[in-house]
A and B are shown apart, each in its own frame.
Chain A
Amino acid sequence: MEIAPPLISQAAAPALIEVDGLTKLYGDFPAVTDLSFSVRAGEVIGLVGPNGAGKTTTLRCLAGVIPATRGSVRICGRDLASQPIEAKRRLAFFSDEPRLFDYLTVDQHLNFTARIYGVANYREIGRPLLEELEIADKTDKLPGELSRGMKQKLAIACGLLHSPEVIFFDEPLTGLDPIGIRRMKDSILKRGRAGAAILISSHLLHLLEEVCSHVLILKNGRKIIDGSLGEVRQRFSEQSGDTTFEEVFFRATGESKGAP
């Protein structure tokens, strides 16, 4: 698939996500240790690693859901610890399981989100979003009346309503049908091209290969490598230049590829 160039030249683009020495301890257990990286406007970075690598913890720390034990996170130049409201106003986090309120309809969810983020023209923004996500005819439905995929679309509509500059996705393709998957990939690329900094955590390496410009590999809470897809591929390819990303992943994480 051809990836259209970003609207902003990435070299000149400002870093919208800046992570410096992020450490998260659960009791004595280090879930993430001394993680540093940055994501510029227009970059789509894939966060990969085996189970227990600390991907979800990293995402939750970056989204302000849980506090970091040490280190700093800056979103669009705002420190998440000291300026949480300003930082959160600029980000959206989509967890693997859509988190909706059982008793609010699709329309009420948008109205509620608009008030939380102060989106005065939410009707003008929300309508095309619902149409793009193909749930415009479900505005009076409760989440209980929607399929898993539609719930996810509603969560996305709510998350994108305030036009976030930084977007975090945790396993964004879970529960989507093939058309939904296609649209989700297009949507991610579209936001990236529009200048958003996007971080995607997923086990689906082909998704990351398709939509990400950069990659960050974690193992046991520590960064193995980060960089553009080409740089990471080059670092872990042996002699041949056409190493698949799957092979890169196994080499980087030192995991065995063989079936059990």
Chain B
Amino acid sequence: MGNYHQFDVVVIGAGGAGLMAALYASKTASTAVLSKLYPTRSHTGTAQGGVGAALGNEGEDHPEWHTFDTVKGSDYLGDQDAIEFMCFEAVQAVYELEHYGLPFSRTPDGRIAQRPFGGHTNNVTGKPVSRACYAADRTGHMILQTLYQQCIKNHVNFYDEYQVLDMLIENGAAAGVIALELATGELHTFHAKAIIIATGGHGRIWEITSNAYTFTGDGPAIAMRRGIPLEDMEFFQFHPTGIYRLGILITEGVRGEGGILVNDKGERFMEKYAPKVKDLASRDVVSRAMYLEMREGRGIGGKRYLYLDMRPETVNKYAALDGRKRTDGSPYMVTGEELLSKLPDIVDFARTYLGVDPVAQPMPIQPTAHYAMGGIPTNKLGEVVIDEGNTVLPGLYAAGECACVSVHGANRLGTNSLLDLIVFGKYAGLQAAEFSRGASFQTLPSDPTDNIRQQLDLIRNSDGEEKAYTISNEMKAVMFDEVGVFRSQEGMQKALDKVHELQERLKHVRRPDQGKIFNTELINTWELGNLLDLAEITTVSALRRTESRGGHAREDFPSRDDANWLKHTLAWNKDGAISLGYKPVTITKYQPKERVY
């Protein structure tokens, strides 16, 4: 067998979760990381505002509060045992990153600096608490760099620009993966005792998104085709502040530092929707409020955007009205210079892409498709579980955005994605290495690349008139309009019909690049197939859930319905036919109650 490799543990994806997993797995097991990008290109690097942990460096805080806020943020769909585990592990995990050298910003006494973020509160007063540990507004960049650097230090094996296309499951256990080496077009077989899927999200389904071109849901799509269900796919987060028309993320940290959202009448409209925490409500709440404002004609100039205002005079005016204080008890006042030093990249993005200096002018923003709460079902140790009874698939792990533990439930809190990566990446790595010690390699089929060669040949030999570019644009438009912030039966059915049409049309794309070397057209077309399949399963899951919860807001079913829907969706795609099942939510300490901010 040509191009055959053997490792105890194979990690797919080199973002925060994949690198953390690799760092831990490689301590005791032979480990390879396969990534379609150079690791430092991974999307973790674009995370800005901070990683959540109740260090209490800038005001009283407790992991219990973090746990409750996350449960509430999830609209009670998160599994409380897993949430508690993550929030208690958070503190040590952040110290560990610091010990790896991560250059956090610092408080005057030299500790890790922290800032407020949406949905994170002092559980006694209900006021915002500073829980987001940050490195200016490039926290994700620093996490990605630091973990990659530690992997270099620890001689982790990297296969950069290897696109994973298929996964092999033999005798009910993980057996290996198939990857295409982009530089040569050769297929490689990686025989493994344990596989960790850490491929990130799939926000490229939607027209306006903060997500990278390469965020195409490869891991969930591959898993789905191998019979693994996907959990809670109807829950996708729309971040309130994307740059108008481009969707580029403007961190919630802007509001953490005192920025506010403003409508066409100059009103700070979040006061109406979240009287206590206002602009720092959960993301689903804020995005819905923005849509309602725009629907009532209060978008700027009647258009589909609003303003995010972080001019010092605005920040100081509203901080005074809110009675906001610094940790030393003095009134909260900022200067343009301070905002520049805390949010330098935001200032750069606004100048580059909007032509706006945010210290002098407000920024035009709109909600942007941002984060998948749903994904490959796992337990809190990162083991993939494949049915209503949480049966573990031996040797298969998933972590990060592609996974659904579920710690984010129906809506993720800001800063909890970076936390998810480091906590569950670490445990997936540890578990996979431990598993591989006691396991043997599964026997591979005689021609392990046969399945994927057939898939690729279908694309390569296509000779139709369709352009993948057009299909992609049509998918994004209908999904953004109909399976976005607000949804309805009629709209979602329209989207589903369209997705089915596009899946059919994708079989008739024009003849693509026939070469072997960096055939990006072939790969992009395959990726588009992933996005369409995930758009389909998202919409089917969403149509069935006849309630509103977190990121899934239905005009025709505006209330949360705990009696019928306090449960996780599982969706299988068996040869194109989607079937749904459900499993209970784990509730330990916090009984569901009405969610107000």
- A interacts with B: no
B interface list, Cβ under 8 A from A: none
